[in-house]
Amino acid sequence: MADLVDDADEGAPEQRRGGILHAVALACAIALAIGGIGAAAWRAGVGRGIAPQQTVVPPAVAGTREGTLEPIDPFIANLADEDGHRYLKATLQVEFYDAVAPPEFHRRLPQARDMLLTLLSSKSFADVRSPQGKAVLREEIVNRLNTVLNEDAVKAIYFTEFIVQ
């Protein structure tokens, strides 16, 4: 019986050391997991407060109305860079002041496309890469389209695709 007690006492410190090492490893793993969860929550923005509610925009006020949108087939043009290896692909929609596109628009579309291709190919990459450059280009396109239509019919244009390569 005494031999059994001695064997149990000899194994006890080894179990305690193994138990302590396991406890330390477990505590490190838990701390690492909590840190990872905290980092993920911080990146996701959890705890920054309640997000502001989106405001509801009232329907259009009487006197303002939305015009019709007409798509134009995509444009592919060489840019006027010195090396000549950049291309622009742009797809746009034309918004008119009236609810119906002027009939002249469809009849004069080849002339409009020609003017716009000439305009796009006169631009360099530096001209069109910034948001300000795109805004200037929009204004120029609106002016050219109104010139082709011989009236102030085009309200705005919207790029639905704009790729420079």
Domain definitions of the chain by residue range: 1-56, 69-164
pLDDT of 162: 93
In this predicted structure, the answer to whether residue 45 has a pLDDT above a threshold of 80 is no
Query: How far is the C-alpha of 63 from the C-alpha of 138, rounded, in Å?
Result: 25
Residue 72 bridge partners (DSSP): 92
Nearest to 102 by CA among 47, 164, 154: 154
The per-residue pLDDT for range 67-98, each reduced to its tens digit, is: 899 999 999 999 998 887 889 999 999 999 99
The tokens for 157 are 């244009």
Asked whether the predicted pLDDT for residue 127 surpasses 70, the reply is yes
Q: What is the DSSP letter of 111?
A: H
Q: Is 74 helix (H, G, I), strand (E, B) or coil?
A: strand
Give percent of the chain above pLDDT 70. Answer: 76
Q: What is the pLDDT of residues 48-69, one digit of tens each?
A: 555 445 555 444 444 456 789 9
Both structure tokens of 135: 């805004």
For the segment 123-142, the average pLDDT, to the nearest whole number, is 93
Closest of 83, 79, 59, 61 to residue 122, by C-alpha: 79
How far is Cα 76 from Cα 68, in angstroms, rounded to an integer?
25
pLDDT for residue 61: 44
pTM of the complete model: 0.60
The pLDDT of residue 28 is: 81
C-alpha angle 80/94/163, rounded to 5°?
40
Architecture, CATH, for domain 69-164:
2-Layer Sandwich (3.30)
Compute the mean pLDDT over every residue in the chain, rounded to the nearest whole number: 81
Tell me the mean pLDDT in the region 144-156.
93
pLDDT confidence band for 134 (50 / 70 / 90): very high
